[in-house]
């Protein structure tokens, strides 16, 4: 496929400049310069010099002209365009894209939609607006379906006959997303909804009764990226202080965020707002293993190209259709101090397309540092690293009210290079089906350390680890082995405290100790559980071993569990957990209370502790030197949980994470 510039990415002036940049070599300048962009300036002109007195009107000319060390200063205003960096910077001379006032330069992947509105038949205020094909920057997203598995990224779903499918495009009215429906009956019932009819030539919108459509600000997504190079692998680009919103970007794979590093390296993405993308807000990885799937890419770049070492800091990544931040196969990236909220906004259902790719933060094959983030209210996993996580650190994050699991590690085998999940506050997770709302969850994952976390008020188990497939990781059949669960606080997790496999050929060397457990619930099911999915053992055999050990400990025959009944519900008290598995010998059940108030940030936490918690011994965790707040761990007598220096009774803690890189 020839490399082509997507239609109308830039103005005609920018396209002319792009041709020059791609076919000539520009001699480096001795001094860096600042290119100025100001859409509202009276003298703004894309053919001008790009100075404060005569700035560019759009960002495109500056992006084409900038060389290492240059800054592109963008003044407040609305910029409806895709920004396409033509080249990267150098280690000591990055190219900096800077909003002159944080949050005041807004770059959108949408355009105004102001058709001649015609009222549809019926009593409801449903209006029809005809789509103009000329407005779309490439393919029409109101004709294309949504893919979350890479197999049908070009599937056309309009025009259509029979049952309709969702389209990729979106409609915003007065800056708020309206809800897409695919049945006319649902459109008539639901105010603030919209539908693309079978012929694909128009959009039907159900406006509120009090609104006159011609007086509403209506926008439709027309671009598949907002800030993304055409060339892959560019490095040392800094992007600071912008608002990026509205994008008709297709789901993975390839991963293509509204803001995308395009397999680049050493980017800094700081202080931005990235919201309302159709699928991924920001992608920070290497896009895909299948280079031929990368359209609008030079043939010589249609190959595996591994990037990384990005710093993603202090951004608001919210309300994106699928994922907030995604990254396939990259190393050394730091994701610190961000707010990642309300992603999977489009509520893609479990297993759509056979793949699961939704999360606040979803990384693959990444030894990333994920630290000090607020990850909350995502209709998806909070933080998820899949298919390789050796040496990754998930530390000091506030992970609240996500769906399925708060923190999820999947598919890994990293002896000597574990992923460390430490100092996190994980609570309020809700569940659905197979994913029952777990605080910290792993499957097919070995070499994970879960230590010094506060895990509370989750719908499922506080920690659940299991082996569910026969896949390969690092050339070895997956297991749940060598995981450690140490020095955590478990409070009021409705499904139970912990569920782990019984030792067998698929699960060896699990350690759990020096945790503190509490539940206010009335006595019901025992709080610990044995799980068995793809393990080399049967639960009936585990039940027989439990009976044997209980009898050896002096339990009366009539008190022994019935084998078949226990195998159907393999729950254990703390005493029997210790007896059967020889785990949690130093752990204790102690009264605790947790209240978290995150109505404003930084959030606050009230943690009430029993005096005896200070006497719980803690296991030293290799590589962990500070707590949630960045305070150094004491050389002796560490406290379980993410906070040191607590007192008996009520402690009020401001959840402002420690200094991040």
- In this structure, of 18-32, 150-164, 255-269, 298-312, the range with the lowest mean pLDDT score is 18-32
Domain boundary assignment for the chain:
12-108+223-531, 114-220
pLDDT at 13 over 70: no
In SS3 terms, 43-97 reads as CCCCCCCCCCCCCECCCHHHHHHCCCCCEEEECCEEEECCECCCCCCECCECEEE
Query: Is residue 8 pLDDT above 80, yes or no?
Result: no
Residue 148: what pLDDT? 84
DSSP 151: S
Q: What is the pLDDT of residues 457-489, one digit of tens each?
A: 999 999 999 999 999 999 999 999 999 999 999
pLDDT at 348 over 90: no
Query: 215-248: per-residue pLDDT in tens?
Result: 999 999 999 999 999 999 999 999 999 999 999 9
Q: How far is CA 78 from CA 105, 132, 137, 251, 281, in A?
A: 6, 22, 18, 26, 19
> What is d(CA 64, CA 242) in angstroms, rounded to the nearest whole number?
19
Greater pLDDT, 2 or 75: 75
| pTM of the predicted protein model | 0.95
The predicted structure's pLDDT at residue 523? 56
| pLDDT tens-place string over residues 504-550 | 999 999 999 999 999 887 557 899 999 999 999 999 999 999 999 99
Q: Which pLDDT does position 56 carry in this prediction?
A: 98
Mean pLDDT of 150-170: 89
Q: What are phi and psi of 232, to 5 degrees?
A: -95, 160
Expressed in percent and rounded to 5, the helix, strand and coil fractions of the chain are 10, 35, 55
Instruction: Say if residue 10's pLDDT is above 90.
Output: no
- pLDDT-wise least confident of 176-185, 364-373, 512-521: 512-521
The pLDDT value given to residue 522 = 55
pLDDT at 636: 86
**DSSP classification of residue 349:** P
For the segment 426-462, what is each residue's pLDDT rounded down to a tens digit? Answer: 999 999 999 999 999 999 999 999 999 999 999 999 9
Which pLDDT value is given to residue 656?
A: 85
User: Can you tell me the distance from the alpha carbon of 312 to that of 310, in angstroms, rounded to the nearest whole number?
Assistant: 6
- Mean pLDDT, residues 488-497 taken together: 97
Helix spans in 127-270 (H) = 184-189
Q: Which residue carries 């330069």 as its tokens?
A: 105
Reduced to 3 states (helix: H, G, I; strand: E, B; else coil), residue 16 is helix
Is residue 354 very low, low, confident or very high in pLDDT (cuts 50, 70, 90)? Answer: low
Mean pLDDT over 104-109 rounds to 98
Mean pLDDT to the nearest integer, 626-652: 95
Average pLDDT, integer, range 153-160? 89
Cα 324 from Cα 315, distance rounded (Å): 11
- 494 exposed, middle or buried (CB, 10 Å; 0-12, 13-18, 19+)? middle
CATH class of 12-108+223-531: mainly beta
Summarised one tens digit per residue, pLDDT across range 37-79 is 999 999 999 999 999 999 999 999 999 999 999 999 999 999 9
pLDDT value at residue 541: 96
Distances (CA, A) of 50 to 243, 361, 437: 22, 37, 53
The predicted pLDDT at position 18 comes to 44
**CATH code that applies to domain 114-220:** 2.60.40.1180
In the predicted structure, residue 388 carries a pLDDT above the cut 90: yes
Distance of alpha carbon 543 from alpha carbon 529, whole angstroms: 12
**Averaged pLDDT of the chain:** 93
Residue 238 phi, psi dihedral angles, 5° rounding: -110, 135
Q: How confident is the model at residue 356 (pLDDT cuts 50, 70, 90)?
A: confident
Q: What is the per-residue pLDDT for 12? A: 44
62 backbone dihedrals φ, ψ, rounded to 5°? -65, -40
**Is residue 9 predicted with pLDDT exceeding 50?**
no
257, pLDDT greater than 70:
yes
Confidence of residue 154 (pLDDT cuts 50, 70, 90): confident
The better pLDDT of the pair 249, 20 is held by 249
Residue 138 pLDDT > 90: no
Pair 258, 283: CB distance under 8 Å: no
- β-bridge partners, 215: none
Q: How far apart are CA 531 and CA 572, in angstroms?
A: 11
Q: Rounded CA gap, 472 and 413, in Å?
A: 9
Distance CA 240, CA 71 (A): 11
State residue 575's pLDDT score: 96
CA gap 55, 75 in Å, rounded = 10
d(Cα 208, Cα 138) in Å, to the nearest integer?
Answer: 32
């Amino acid at each position: 496929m020839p490399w082509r510039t997507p239609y109308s990415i830039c103005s005609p002036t920018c396209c002319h400049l792009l041709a020059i940049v791609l076919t000539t070599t520009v001699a480096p300048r001795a001094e860096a310069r600042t290119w100025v962009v100001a859409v509202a300036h009276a003298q703004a002109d894309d053919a001008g010099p790009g100075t404060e007195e005569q700035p560019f009107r759009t960002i495109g000319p500056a992006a084409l002209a900038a060389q290492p060390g240059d800054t592109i200063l963008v003044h407040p205003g609305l910029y409806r365009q895709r920004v396409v960096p033509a080249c990267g910077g150098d280690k000591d001379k990055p190219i900096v894209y800077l909003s002159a006032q944080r949050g005041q330069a807004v770059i959108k992947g949408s355009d105004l939609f102001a058709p001649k509105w015609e009222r549809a038949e019926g009593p409801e205020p449903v209006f029809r607006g005809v789509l103009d094909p000329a407005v779309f920057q490439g393919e029409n997203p109101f004709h294309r379906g949504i893919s979350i598995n890479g197999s049908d990224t070009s599937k056309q779903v309009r025009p259509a006959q029979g049952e309709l499918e969702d389209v990729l495009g979106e409609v915003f009215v007065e800056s708020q997303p309206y809800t897409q429906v695919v049945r006319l009956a649902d459109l008539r019932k639901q105010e603030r909804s919209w539908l693309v009819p079978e012929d694909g030539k128009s959009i039907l919108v159900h406006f509120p009764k009090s609104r006159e459509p011609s007086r509403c600000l209506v926008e439709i997504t027309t671009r598949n990226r907002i800030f993304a190079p055409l060339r892959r692998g560019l490095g040392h680009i800094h992007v600071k202080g912008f608002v990026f919103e509205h994008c008709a970007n297709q789901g993975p794979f390839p991963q293509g965020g509204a803001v995308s590093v395009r397999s680049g390296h050493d980017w800094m993405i700081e202080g931005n707002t990235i919201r309302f993308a159709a699928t991924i807000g920001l992608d920070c990885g290497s896009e895909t293993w299948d280079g031929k799937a990368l359209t609008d890419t030079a043939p010589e770049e249609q190959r595996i190209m591994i990037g990384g070492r990005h710093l993603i800091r202090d951004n608001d990544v919210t309300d994106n259709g699928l994922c907030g931040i995604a990254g396939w196969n990259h190393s050394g990236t730091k994701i610190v101090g961000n707010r990642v909220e309300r992603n999977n906004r489009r509520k893609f259902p479990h297993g759509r397309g056979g793949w699961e790719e939704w999360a606040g933060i979803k990384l693959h094959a990444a030894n990333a540092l994920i630290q000090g983030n607020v990850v909350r209210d995502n209709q998806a996993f909070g933080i998820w690293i899949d298919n390789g996580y050796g040496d990754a650190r998930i530390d000091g994050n506030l992970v609240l009210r996500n769906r399925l699991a708060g923190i999820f590690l999947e598919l890994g085998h990293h002896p000597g290079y574990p992923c460390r999940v430490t100092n996190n506050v994980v609570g309020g997770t809700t569940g659905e089906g197979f994913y029952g709302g777990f605080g910290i969850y792993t499957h097919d994952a070995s070499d994970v350390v879960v230590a010094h976390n506060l895990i509370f008020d989750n719908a499922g188990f506080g920690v659940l680890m299991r082996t569910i497939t026969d896949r390969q990781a690092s050339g070895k059949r997956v297991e749940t082995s060598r995981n450690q669960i140490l020095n955590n606080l478990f409070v009021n997790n409705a499904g139970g405290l912990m569920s782990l496999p019984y030792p067998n050929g698929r699960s060896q060397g699990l350690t759990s100790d020096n945790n503190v457990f509490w539940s206010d619930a009335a006595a019901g099911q025992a709080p610990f559980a044995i799980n068995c999915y793809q393990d080399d053992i049967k639960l009936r055999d585990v039940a027989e071993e439990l009976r044997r050990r209980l009898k050896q400990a002096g339990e009366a025959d009539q008190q022994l569990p019935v084998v078949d009944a226990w195998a159907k519900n393999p729950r254990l008290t703390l005493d029997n957990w210790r007896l059967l598995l020889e785990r949690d010998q130093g752990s204790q059940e102690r009264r605790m209370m947790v209240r978290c108030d995150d109505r404003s940030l930084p959030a606050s936490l009230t943690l009430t502790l029993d005096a005896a918690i200070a006497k719980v011994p803690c296991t030293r965790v290799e590589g962990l030197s500070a707590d949630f707040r960045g305070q150094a761990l004491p050389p002796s007598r560490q406290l379980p949980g993410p906070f040191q220096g607590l007192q008996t009774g009520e402690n009020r803690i401001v959840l402002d994470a420690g200094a991040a890189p």
